[in-house]
Structure 1
Amino acid sequence: MKFLAITLIVHRPDPTTGVQKSTHERFREVLDNALLAEELGFDGFGVGERHERPFISSSPTVVLSHIAALTRRIRLFTAVTTLSLLDPVRAYEDYATLDHLSGGRLDLIIGKGNGTAQRELFHVTPEDQWERNAESYEVFRQLWRQDKVTARTRFRPELRDAEVWPRPYQQPIRVWHGSATSKESVDLAARYGDPLFSANVTNPIEPYAELIRYYRERWEHYGHDPADIAVGAGTAGLYVAPTTQEALAAYRPVFESNLAFQQQVGLPIVFETLEDYVERSSALIGSPQQVIDKVHRYHEQFGHTVLHLHADASSLTDRQHRDSLELFQSAVTPVLRKDIPDPPFGWGPVLPEPASAADH
């Protein structure tokens, strides 16, 4: 199993203290968390893309480029690239450049994105967002694979023998499809034989498990080998402590402040108590053995081989956050790496096979 640390770069007052860091401090925190993830042995670090409050993750290519310059090993993920809002040509240019600068350490997770404010900002409607996402992905996919592209498009000017530079480093880049609530993105992933990444954050397990089952059905429908399926899954929160009691005591103020914030802004409340949250959500809160057992329970439903965790401390202290991540990496990760297989592809750059002697 592979492990990612992911941030959406939420920028709002700390729900416990009421203090809000400056924008500069918040970006510095993201860079520090990326360095910590590499130091602790995480396999990937992801940055989201949002174009509305309370997020400041509107330029993931810029943030990831800076992280690429500070790191050497860790793979870089987008979480997610909102292709329904973007011109696929411009997105290709940005990500191909980033892929070169990172030495082929880039993976994309794409999705339609969500949120009324960012849809209105880009003049995207609920009715056309799925078609925009599919069209943008199809053009993006062609651009990464072909030197010249002709494409009849509905949401941007048509391409006729278009050349777009720079040409790619990875050939091709790996693209995961983010899945949260709808079968459209799941079907798109299955159609092209691409890996799926389940959000697995807001609700109990069943709606996500249902979409993953549908993905597996559509994968076989499109004629792909079931052995090539790769699924990733998110988590709603993380706090690992030596004992259950310590974990619950440390995380309770975080849960209660987040619950108060959800009530304040009118978000639907899915888990009303910390105990229910720990039991029925994807949050990994407890002793190392509890966390191991819970990941296994989810794996029985999902069959996932990649897991993402929160890169941010949120309302935890920096010391609590680091201690939790260190304990996860020392006591949880080795067991899960042994018990659960890796994805059915290499974790390094996706490069052309070297020519054999028979080719000459």
Structure 2
Amino acid sequence: MEIGISTFVETTPDTKTGVLISHAERLREVVEEIILADQVGLDVFGVGEHHRNDFAASSPAVVLAAAASQTNRIRLTSAVTVLSSADPVRVFQDFATLDGISNGRAEIMAGRGSFIESFPLFGYNLNDYDELFEEKLDLLLTLQKSEFVTWSGKHRPAINNIGIYPRPVQEPLPIWIGSGGNSESVVRAGLLGLPLVLAIIGGRPIQFAPLVELYKKAAVHAGHDVNKLQIASHSHGFIAEDRMTAVDKFFPSTQQVMNKLGKERGWGTYDRSAFDAARSLEGALYVGDSETVAKKIINLRKNVGITRFMLHVPVGSMPHADVMKAIELLGKEVAPTVREEIKKWEANQ
């Protein structure tokens, strides 16, 4: 059971003071967070790609590379790379470069993106949303398999037997598929034999169990060994020394972000009752003390089949010291508890 962190490198106003830190300061903070995550024994750190004012990381590979030479063990991944609006050749080169700097710890998490700002920015038509992803994923996987590439498609100029450099330390460079819970995307990942990441940020996580089974069935149908495939979850959460401290610190910034996105997307108002319901054992928020969060992760592993858990923290801007403490508790207290319990449970299966 792998445990790690994901972040969108948020830069929203402080809910108490209204102060807005700069993109530069937040980027430097997240590098410190990655270094700490490595030091406390976490397995993976993911940085999401966005192209808007309230998120600072438009280039995850650059952020991860800044921490790569200052870390030793932790795996470094995008979370996600918006592949539909990117050049797969450049994506592969960037992460192959990161793989070299980190000596074989880079991963790509490819997704279509729930945020669409990158499409007009890079000149893509949203009407081609699905077609772009399928074509660009095909190219990315072609790049993963071969040094010299011959490929043609509709939305990008053809490549005729050209070498792609640098070559990664890992052959093949790991590529995950990120999904918000769409059955088509999990079937695609299964048929391709690619590891899957599910964004479980609402509802009841147990509802994702049928999607995991669908993914496995697709993988078996295509001749892949499901025992070798990883399934990850990406879920919002926060850890503090005691449960109510975690709750009271995490709610204000979470509410701020969820209501801002809700206005953009036509969602209902996010209030304390919705927050409290989501942090129950059956809910999708992993907020509380170390014991509470560990119990929820164990429950997710046993009932949904997740093999990697990524705690998304913060949601909105929170004091850097609080985020660092949450990472420390996840690595030093939650992760050992989860690993030990899952090891015992698996031995009895």
CA distance in 2 between partners of 1:311 and 1:256 (Å): 14
The offset of 1:222, in angstroms, is: 1.2
For 1:328, the equivalent position in structure 2 comes to 330
Deviation at 1:78, TM superposition (A): 0.8
Q: 1:204: how far off?
A: 3.3
8 A Cα contact 2:195 2:231, kept in partner: yes
- 2:103 matched residue in structure 1: 103
Q: How many residue pairs end up in the alignment?
A: 340
CA distance in 2, matches of 1:129, 1:263: 22
- 8 Å Cα contact 1:288/1:332 also seen in 2: yes
Partner residue, 1:286 = 288
Q: Aligned in 2, Cα 1:266/1:162: closer, same or farther, shift over 3 Å?
A: closer
Q: Report the Cα distance in structure 1 between the residues aligned to 2:315 and 2:180, rounded to whole angstroms.
A: 24
Deviation at 1:326, TM superposition (A): 2.9
Give the CA deviation at 1:259. 5.3
Give the structure 1 partner of residue 267 of structure 2: 268
Query: Partner of 2:247 in structure 1?
Result: 248
Distance 2:204 2:53 in 1: 25
CA contact under 8 A between 2:262 and 2:269: conserved in structure 1? no
Q: Which stretch of structure 1 is more off in the superposition, 32-41 or 292-301? A: 292-301
**Structure 1 segment 41-80 matched on structure 2, within 5 A:** 41-80=41-80
Q: Does 1:303 align with 2:302?
A: no
Distance 1:70 1:96 in 2: 18
Task: Tell me if the contact between 2:10 and 2:315 (Cα under 8 Å) persists in the aligned partners.
Answer: no
Do residues 143 (structure 1) and 160 (structure 2) align? Answer: no
Question: Aligned letter for 1:285?
Answer: V
Change in 2 beyond 3 A, CA 1:206/1:335: closer
Whether the aligned pair in 1 keeps the contact of 2:15 and 2:252 (CA below 8 Å) is no
Query: 1:203–1:270: 8 Å Cα contact kept in structure 2?
Result: no
Q: Given the superposition, is the C-alpha separation of residues 237 and 267 from structure 1 closer, same or farther in structure 2, using an over 3 Å criterion?
A: farther
User: Aligned in 2, Cα 1:256/1:152: closer, same or farther, shift over 3 Å?
Assistant: closer
Q: CA deviation at 1:193?
A: 0.9
Alignment partner of 1:233 is 2:233? yes
C-alpha offsets along residues 99-123 of structure 1, whole Å, 9 cap, x if unaligned? Answer: 1122111011111113233222233
CA separation in 2, counterparts of 1:108 and 1:84? 14
What SS does the aligned partner of 2:114 have? Answer: coil
CA offsets, 1:154-202, max 9 Å, x none?
1111122122222332110111110104233222211221110111124
Letter paired with 1:275: D
Q: CA deviation at 1:301?
A: 3.2
Q: CA–CA distance in 2 between the matches of 1:197 and 1:212?
A: 10
Distance 1:277 1:324, change over 3 A: same
**Does the Cα contact within 8 Å between 1:237 and 1:309 map onto a contact in 2?**
yes
Q: Residue 206 of structure 2 contacts residue 300 of structure 2 at CA under 8 Å; is this kept in 1?
A: no
1:35-184 → structure 2 map (5 Å cutoff)? 35-184=35-184
Match of 1:114, SS?
coil
Distance in 2, Cα, partners of 1:177 & 1:82 = 11
Quote the offset at 1:265 in angstroms.
Answer: 5.2
Is residue 193 of structure 2 the alignment partner of residue 193 of structure 1?
yes
Unmatched runs of 5 consecutive residues or more in structure 1: 342-360
- When structure 1 is superposed on structure 2, of 313-322 and 84-93 the one drifting more is 313-322
**Residue 346 (structure 2) aligns with:** none
How large is the RMSD of aligned CA atoms in angstroms? 2.4
Give 3-state SS (helix, strand or coil) of 1:236's partner. Answer: strand
How many angstroms apart in 1 are the aligned matches of 2:31 and 2:131?
Answer: 35
Could you say what secondary structure the match of 2:31 adopts? Answer: helix
Alignment TM-score, normalising by the size of structure 2? 0.88
CA distance in 2, matches of 1:115, 1:259: 14
Q: How has the CA–CA distance of structure 1 residues 185 and 125 changed in structure 2, closer, same or farther, with 3 Å as cutoff?
A: farther
Partner of 1:211: 211
Secondary structure at the counterpart of residue 162 of structure 1: strand
Worse overlay, 309-318 or 190-199? 309-318
Q: Once the two structures are superposed, what CA deviation does each residue of 1:89-146 show, in whole Å capped at 9, x if it has no partner? A: 2222222222112211101111111323322223333442222222212212222221
